[in-house]
Amino acid sequence: MLNYSILSKKPAHFRNFSGVELAEFNTLNLKIKEKYDSYEEKRLARVDRKRAVGAGHPFKLSLTDRLLMLLVYYHMYPSSTLLGYLFNLSQTSVLKAIRKLEPMVSEILPLPKKQQDKVRRLQTVDEVEAMFPGFKAFLDATEQEIPRPHGKRKRKTHYSGKKKKHTVKTQLTVNEDGLIVHKTGHVKGSMHDYTLYKRSHPHLPITSV
């Protein structure tokens, strides 16, 4: 079973699961706890509520563990079935906990889902700067099609499931002025973007170059 008590004992694992440092989570958790009572009072007193206040099953998880589960969901996007297994909840309870906590958390911490549509429409560096103030660089991998390799092994390693073609992959880092500040060599097209990132160790710029 996954919970704050267990995961907080291993800060590196905590960051990998939740996407935030343990200290950052603790600060966020404190802010959520300060707002929670008034938030719940307002939510339960809404005019369109069909059930009486106090009706319904109470949450099985503590507020801290529900917040952790929500961050794990947004960082890793596992299925609700998997989250239920990790946090020892039913699928329905997972969805209920996330749905009811999202609005309050999004007031303090922008959630990826809330920004998704806006990000898709970004077209220029100025628009990106407005959306993500102080950004330093873009980092992405690109694929180039190659002729079908002769060797069976190379045909397998260079086949990109995403492109449905044989490709080589290159990772580029472009700074805020549009200049390429880091470029990897070609790798096999089947390599995952994140694997390439971990192997390349790109140096992101502190200032424009």
Cα–Cα distance between 120 and 116 in angstroms, integer?
A: 6
**Six token digits for residue 7:** 């995961």
Cα–Cα distance between 174 and 205 in angstroms, integer?
A: 9
| Model pLDDT for residues 40-68, shown as the tens digit of each residue | 777 666 655 555 545 456 789 999 999 99
Cα–Cα distance between 186 and 51 in angstroms, integer?
A: 60
Cα–Cα distance between 171 and 142 in angstroms, integer?
A: 6
| Model pLDDT for residues 142-155, shown as the tens digit of each residue | 899 999 988 888 88
**145: β partners:** 167
Residue 117 banded pLDDT, cuts 50, 70, 90 = low
Sign of the Cα torsion 121, 122, 124, 127 reads: positive
